[in-house]
Amino acid sequence: MSRQLSEKEKELVRQLQADIPLVPEPFDEIARAVGMPVEEVIDKVNQWIADGTIRRFGAMVRHQRLGYKANAMSAWDVPDERADEVGERLARADAVSHCYRRPRADGWRYNVFAMIHGASADECHRVAAELAAEVGVEEYALLFSSREFKKVSMSYFVE
Partner 1 sequence: MDAIDSRLVTEIQSGFPVTRRPYAAIGEKLGISEDEVIERLKAIKESGEIRRMGASFDSRKLGYASTLCAAHVPPEKLEETVAVINSYINVTHNYERNHHYNVWFTVIAPSRERIREILEEIEERAGIDPIIDLPASRLYKIQVDLPVIEEK
- Among positions 73-102, residues that touch partner 1 (CB under 8 A) are 73, 83-84, 87-88, 90-91, 96-102
- Give whole-number Cα distances, 74 to 19, 131, 133, 151, in Å: 32, 10, 14, 19
Answer for which of 20, 33, 70, 132 binds partner 1 (CB under 8 A) is 20
Measure the CA–CA gap between 142 and 123, rounded to whole angstroms: 12
Measure the CA–CA gap between 61 and 67, rounded to whole angstroms: 11
State the minimum distance, in angstroms, from the CB of residue 140 to partner 1.
12
Measure the CA–CA gap between 116 and 109, rounded to whole angstroms: 19
Q: Indicate the residue type of 130.
A: E
Answer for which of 6, 81, 106, 138 binds partner 1 (CB under 8 A) is 106
Answer for which of 57, 120, 129, 134 binds partner 1 (CB under 8 A) is 57
Answer for which of 7, 32, 37, 46 binds partner 1 (CB under 8 A) is 46
Answer for which of 11, 29, 53, 125 binds partner 1 (CB under 8 A) is 53
Measure the CA–CA gap between 87 and 99, rounded to whole angstroms: 7
**Binders of partner 1 in range 135-154 (CB under 8 A):** 141, 143-154
Is residue 1 within 8 A of residue 52, CB to CB? The reply is no
**Binders of partner 1 in range 110-129 (CB under 8 A):** 113-114, 117
Indicate the residue among 51 and 138 with the shorter CB distance to partner 1. Answer: 51
**Binders of partner 1 in range 21-40 (CB under 8 A):** 22-28, 38
Q: What is the DSSP letter of 18?
A: S
